[in-house]
Chains A and B, each alone.
Chain A
């Protein structure tokens, strides 16, 4: 039963990943991160993604703070935030978020405040969707790891039974 759980959870993870790739939410850079994870850095992907969440939320707050100011004119500062957001989104394979940043940057380069506001709303939406899906992915992975850990003692007990007098 537990064996089936592990396999089912692995299948769930693969299905979710396939969906995220199909939707263009993630790209192959995310696979590169997974390939860097090994026994010496078993939590590398979740560690990196958590850094991304922390930094992204700071950047989103900064962008919103700039744009809600009616006297706002510092498009250069906005460009700096967007460059960082683009770079970090590319680095974890967050393709759709990155693409919105590109459009946002284009509006910012044209000093188009209305365009920037629209882009910010879309960016917040895409980021929120990405964050929820990655949380879901990590939750399934945690469940799979727990299920695999619980399965092992059961197998050990089963092997020991024939030796009991």
Chain B
């Protein structure tokens, strides 16, 4: 497990506390985008991520998420709901990967049907989880994110 920890309330990546302290000028904040048409899920997932020190933004559907990236914003982590109006998670993930977005994209789905998860993964996800995400799931996602960023 790659260690990750907080620095002044914000998540930072580092292989040791000393390395983090020495490189404090280069430390940057880890940013996440929560994409879900359900305001309840946006609130809970946003709070979960914020609790681990991430800065979070939210989008109500896949199109809003794509538009955020097109506007020049970058995110280290995207939590992407599968079923959404306007543009669903599968289309949005395909579109983002087509644009060259290399952020970690984690799909979240209300149903755990294997066929659906496989179809979603095939669009370019790094992982796919069944809702709800809990603390254990978030820690697992952040561990993978840390490996990706280091």
A92 to B131, CA, bound (A): 10
Q: B44 touching A91 by the CB < 8 A rule?
A: yes
Contact with A91, one of B51, B131, B135 (Cβ below 8 angstroms): B131
Bound Cα distance from A51 to B40, whole angstroms: 6
Q: How far is the CB of A121 from chain B (nearest CB, A)?
A: 22
Asked if B40 and A91 make an inter-chain contact with CB atoms under 8 angstroms apart, the answer reads yes
Q: Which residues on the B side are within 8 Å of A52 (C-beta)?
A: 40
Tell me the complex Cα distance, A145–B108, Å.
36
User: In the complex, are the beta carbons of A90 and B38 less than 8 A apart?
Assistant: no
Interface residues contributed by chain B, number (CB under 8 Å): 18
Whether a CB of chain A sits under 8 angstroms from the CB of B76 is no
Take A29-B132, A35-B135, A90-B131 as given contacts and tell me if A84 and B110 are in contact as well, using a CB distance cutoff of 8 Å.
Answer: yes
Main secondary structure of the interface of A (DSSP, over half): helix
B-contacting 9-mer, from A40-48, A134-142, A147-155, A156-164: A40-48
Q: How large is the interface on A (under 10, 10 to 19, 20 to 34, 35 or more residues)?
A: 20 to 34
A90–B132 CB distance below 8 A: yes
Tell me, in angstroms, the Cα distance from A80 to B84 when the chains sit together: 9
Q: Which residues of chain B (97-116) have a CB below 8 Å from chain A?
A: 110-111
Q: Residue B110 contacts which of A33, A36, A83 (CB distance < 8 angstroms)?
A: A83
Q: Are the CB atoms of B40 and A55 closer together than 8 Å?
A: yes
Q: Quick check: is A143 within 8 A (CB to CB) of the other chain? A: no
* B83 CB-CB contact with A under 8 Å: yes
Asked whether, in the complex, the Cβ of B40 is within 8 Å of the Cβ of A36, the reply is no
- Complex CA gap A90/B43 in Å reads 14
- Cβ contacts under 8 Å, B131 to chain A: 87, 90-91
CB pair A36–B47 under 8 Å, yes or no, is yes
B68 at the binding interface (Cβ < 8 Å): no
Q: Which residue in chain B gives the minimum CB-CB distance to A37?
A: B47
Seed contacts A35-B135, A105-B111; 11 additional CB < 8 Å A-B pairs: A41-B47, A47-B43, A48-B43, A55-B40, A86-B110, A87-B110, A88-B40, A88-B41, A90-B110, A91-B41, A91-B131
Q: Which 5 A-B pairs have the closest CB atoms?
A: A87-B110, A91-B132, A86-B110, A51-B40, A88-B40
Q: Which residues of A contact B (CB under 8 A)?
A: 29, 32-33, 35-36, 41, 44, 47-48, 51-52, 55, 80, 83-84, 86-88, 90-92, 105
Q: List 11 A-B residue pairs with CB atoms under 8 Å apart, sorted by A's residue number.
A: A29-B132, A32-B134, A33-B44, A36-B51, A51-B39, A55-B38, A55-B40, A83-B83, A88-B38, A90-B131, A91-B132
